[in-house]
Structure 1
Amino acid sequence: MIGRWYTAFGINVLLGGPALVPLFLLYYIGATWVHPAPEENDGFGIVLIAFGLPVAACGFLWWAVNRPFARRTQLSPAQYWTLSLLGTLIPALTLLCVDP
């Protein structure tokens, strides 16, 4: 059963719920990089430290969960990681479509 593509896809859709937090943090970093708000004058280094560490931790957790599944699936590595990324993004895209 673990060799099927839908098992890996389902695992990553479930991981997509908690992934909303680091995705929002990445959006915030990207939005404030070019045009920071006037009241945010602490510098960008503190933003990278405060938001970069949780994003890196969540990325490592996502990779650690997916690595054993990637070895046991029947998909090629490129197919597996593309499917995993798309599965993880489904909750965020659903949230954007439902409540713009």
Structure 2
Amino acid sequence: MSSPVRAWAAPVIVNLVLGIVAVIPLWFLMMFLRNHPLAELGLTGRDPTDNDGVLPWMLLLVPMWAAFLGLWLPVNSLMRRKREVTRRRYWTFGSLVVLSPMATLLFLIAVL
């Protein structure tokens, strides 16, 4: 029987690496949300050079997120089967770990 730390080392490392990859789609999604839906609600200002509409954003975001999720979901499904933990707990943990590089980057940008 392995220790809990050793059992969770592989999912943490894999999700951190995937989280570094996820910074790019998350950043583009954040830019899209800031320039279109949130700007329409009056919560943010629109970038004055972004005058092409939503189509270029969709052409960028949809394949990018499809590629990322096409990698992240199967890898984590395979890893979850090897762990004796509930589905909800594993996916919550994996989601938090994969979002941690983006959260760290946003924190560093805000602080510096």
Q: CA deviation at 1:10?
A: 2.3
Per the alignment, residue 43 of structure 2 pairs with none
**Greater Rg, structure 1 or structure 2?**
2
1:4-56 per-position Cα deviation (integer Å, ceiling 9, x unaligned): 23321222112111111011011011111232433322221221112221122
Q: CA deviation at 1:72?
A: 1.2
1:75 to 82, 85, 90: 85
Matches within 5 A, 1:1-100: 4-34=7-37, 35=39, 36-100=46-110
Q: CA deviation at 1:86?
A: 0.7
Separation in 2, partners of 1:98, 1:40: 26
Structure 2 stretches lacking a partner, 5+ long: 40-45
Q: After superposing the two structures, state which structure 1 stretch, 10-19 or 81-90, moved more.
A: 10-19
**Normalising by structure 2, what TM-score?**
0.76
Structure 1 stretches lacking a partner, 5+ long: none
Identical aligned pairs, as a percentage? 28
Higher relative contact order (CA 8 A, sep 6+): 1
